[in-house]
Amino acid sequence: MAVTITGKLGALAEEYATQYLISKKYRIASRNYRKPWGEIDIVAEKEGIVVFAEVKANRKEIAGFEPELRVNSGKRHRMNRIAQTFLVDHNFPSDQPWQMDVVAVTFVKERGVAKIRHYKNIE
């Protein structure tokens, strides 16, 4: 399978997002958890809360086209479904606290530098 520029950008953004979360004291439990109906980029845990993080990236800053804007209601619905599947698959109790986050990564002019925005507990 060929790796596209978009795929490389996504993989790099996920790595930046993972390192960002680790720096904020999150414990990474899983990456790229997949089911036929969707994928969660990063599953992490902090202070007893399971966090399902969607990573979105842009190659450069474009006003009105910020990466986080691409997490629409359909994407949130799929995230919710796969998050609940993950919790069942990994035998979490039914009252396990969890949330969905978005980590937006925008690469800036200098190569290898990124701006990261973390949106917690999106609805």
For the chain, the structural domain boundaries read 5-119
| Residue written as token pair 């790229």 | 32
Distance, in Å, from the CA atom of 12 to the CA atom of 97, rounded to the nearest integer, reads 29
Encode pLDDT of 75-100 as tens digits: 899 999 999 999 999 999 999 999 99
Q: What is the pLDDT of residues 46-77, one digit of tens each?
A: 999 999 999 998 877 665 667 787 888 888 99
Q: How many C-beta atoms surround the C-beta of residue 18 within 10 A?
A: 19
Q: Which residue has the higher pLDDT, 45 or 68?
A: 45
Total-model pTM: 0.87
- What CATH number belongs to 5-119? 3.40.1350.10
